[in-house]
Amino acid sequence: MADNPVDNRIDNLNKLRGQARQGGGAKRIEAQHAKGKLTARERVNLLFDQGSFEELDAFVTHRATDFGLDEQKFLGDSVVTGYGKIDGRLAYVYAQDFTVIGGTLSLVASEKICKVMDLAAKNGAPCIGLLDSGGARIQEGVDSLKGYAEIFTRNTLYSGVVPQISVVMGPTAGGAVYSPAITDFIFMVKGIGQMYITGPDVIKTVCGEEVSHEDLGGAMVHAKRSGVCHFVADSEQEVLQMVCRLMSFLPQNNMEETPRVDTGDDPDRSDEALLSVVPADAAKVYDMKEIITRVVDAGDFMEVHKHFAPNLVVGFARLAGQAVGIVAQQPSYMAGVIDINASDKGARFVRFCDCFNIPLITFVDVPGYMPGTDQEFGGIIRHGAKFLYAYAEASVPKISVIVRKAYGGAYVVMSSKGLRGDINYAWPSAEIAVMGPDGAVNIVFRSEIAKAGNPEEARQRLIEEYRSKFANPYVAAARGYIDDVIDPRETRRKLIKALEMLKNKVDTLPAKKHGNIPL
């Protein structure tokens, strides 16, 4: 009996599929595991709902022949691409495969990546990159570089169209770092994920500096010092769970509203503890995150950029089930002052929320912008202007609560009425003025204090007079700059009511190609 040709073809198909799943082969997979790293397909399977992943381009191979590449062909080449479901919602992925020629980017690998990016944009769903690569494939020369350029272009064109997330799970060097840098959020795994423009060997040769891969471009370096990384995890399993959690707060694209989740938390819930969180002494510190977690649904707050510029807190939460973006000062770190790094951190987060229709809730306790020659020479004017620009440009619902201090230009930037803030609340403890009492008295009453018989006594008397007049929210409320002075216990209910009122808000910008943010 002759063989059935259909059965033979299916057998051949299954054989080739099995070959593609092996990536660079058993030895290279074993080497990947020996480094404590998962393979590209193992990562994809952890990310997506069980059985939902559909691979694309599993049979693609590179077309290069120079430098022995004609003998190094692997089905699928150095990246696994496709789509699937995360908590039942569509998402696209590309996962670089380090077992295939070190995960280096070939022309066909870039074409595979660009294909899923295009599909993500056309179908309005997030695109996630799992990065683990030795960089451009040197043997392909300019073709590889052209491939990076195509990816960068799509990162840019689709920015603000669909969420783009990068997860650094291995080396990412040279031009390869610019793709994640353009995306919305970067996750890194401690110990195995690194990012740098030039590696330790080049730095030693050119600059004479000796530095390890981890000290140069590891997760905590970028999370704390450079601000490149938004989230850090201890393991690959943890980082993928964090990605899924972030996705739960985000819409699929820029045309959708944020997802709603029934958290079971009473929208009318009040909290007595909010009466005592802020110390009576304006010079004492407290943890702003306690206010945030007490106000939002079930205390669930996903902080972004936790380790970078901790004087400003940003992140995602829910109010009555609706996802919101939170921006707040942190009085327990540098008194919550706004510096260069906080300006960049806040501006980027505000702009992301505005891109994807995520309402902004702002908690204010800010003494001002950071003084000092380092800040001035470092461009605090330019960086601080980014924060102002972002808030003024944002057209999503913007609600603020002044908890304590709101002085000078720092008051203005934090979603104030003049920057098109929709609803501006203040607690009775709020102090709204051009500057703090000490500085104001020293400037305004300099001559009077100098002439007084007891200058220090006169200064203290004038400080108390200034404090009684301006260290409260009622002057601003009398002018309509504050919409209501609220009982701290009712903050949650007030915010939820305001969000409900603003759900159909429409705000526009003048017709233009785009603005020129002070980068």
Q: What is the pLDDT of residues 314-328, one digit of tens each?
A: 999 999 999 999 999
Catalytic site residue 174?
Answer: yes
Q: Does the pLDDT value for residue 446 go beyond 60?
A: yes
Question: CB-based burial of residue 260 (10 Å sphere; 0-12 exposed, 13-18 middle, 19+ buried)?
Answer: exposed
Domain that holds residue 302: 272-430+472-501
Residue that is last in its domain, among 181, 214, 249: 249
- 465 with 425, same domain? no
Which pLDDT belongs to residue 5?
75
Which of 235-249, 365-379, 468-482 is least confident?
468-482
CATH number at residue 282: 3.90.226.10
Catalytic residue among 20, 91, 173, 410: 410
Which pLDDT belongs to residue 455?
80
Neighbours of 49 (CB within 10 A): 14
Q: Does the pLDDT value for residue 438 go beyond 90?
A: no
| pLDDT per position as a tens digit, 276-286 | 999 988 889 99
Catalytic residue among 129, 135, 346, 409: 409
Higher pLDDT, 516 or 434: 516
CA dist 321 to 12, 175, 353, Å? Answer: 50, 40, 17
Q: Indicate the pLDDT class of residue 449, thresholds 50, 70 and 90.
A: confident
Catalytic site residue 379?
Answer: no
- 57 with 159, same domain? yes
Q: Does the pLDDT value for residue 125 go beyond 80?
A: yes
Domain for residue 56, yes or no?
yes
pLDDT, average across residues 432-451: 82
- 87 with 195, same domain? yes
Domain for residue 511, yes or no?
no
Q: What is the pLDDT of the chain when averaged over all its residues?
A: 93
pLDDT, average across residues 59-87: 82
> Which residue type occupies 235?
S
- 196 with 341, same domain? no
Which pLDDT belongs to residue 67?
65
Q: Does the pLDDT value for residue 497 go beyond 90?
A: yes
Catalytic residue among 102, 135, 147, 174: 174
- 230 with 147, same domain? yes
Which pLDDT belongs to residue 66?
67
Which pLDDT belongs to residue 141?
77
Q: Indicate the pLDDT class of residue 68, thresholds 50, 70 and 90.
A: low
Q: Does the pLDDT value for residue 436 go beyond 90?
A: no
Which pLDDT belongs to residue 65?
59
Catalytic site residue 409?
Answer: yes
Specify the long-range contacts of residues 58-63, CB closer than 8 Å, at least 24 apart. 58/17, 58/20, 59/16, 59/20, 60/108, 60/111, 60/112, 61/108, 62/106, 62/107, 62/108, 62/109, 62/137, 62/140, 63/107, 63/108
- 350 with 456, same domain? no
Q: Indicate the pLDDT class of residue 16, thresholds 50, 70 and 90.
A: confident
Residues 6+ apart with CB under 8 A from 250: 126, 163, 258, 259, 323, 356, 358
- 237 with 337, same domain? no
- 358 with 444, same domain? no
| pLDDT per position as a tens digit, 92-124 | 999 999 999 888 888 999 999 999 999 999 999
Query: Tokens standing for 108?
Result: 């066909």
- 242 with 369, same domain? no
- 404 with 446, same domain? no
Domain for residue 370, yes or no?
yes
| pLDDT per position as a tens digit, 388-408 | 999 999 999 999 999 999 999
- 443 with 487, same domain? no
Domain count, the chain: 3
Can you list the positions of beta strands (E) in 389-463? Answer: 398-407, 423-426, 431-433
Catalytic site residue 160?
Answer: no
Which pLDDT belongs to residue 74?
76
- 314 with 189, same domain? no
Domain for residue 461, yes or no?
yes
Neighbours of 87 (CB within 10 A): 12
Which pLDDT belongs to residue 1?
47
Which pLDDT belongs to residue 386?
97
Provide the CA 29 distance to its chain's centre, in angstroms: 32
Domain for residue 29, yes or no?
yes
Global pTM reads 0.94
Nearest to 352 by CA among 108, 165, 106: 165
Which pLDDT belongs to residue 304?
98
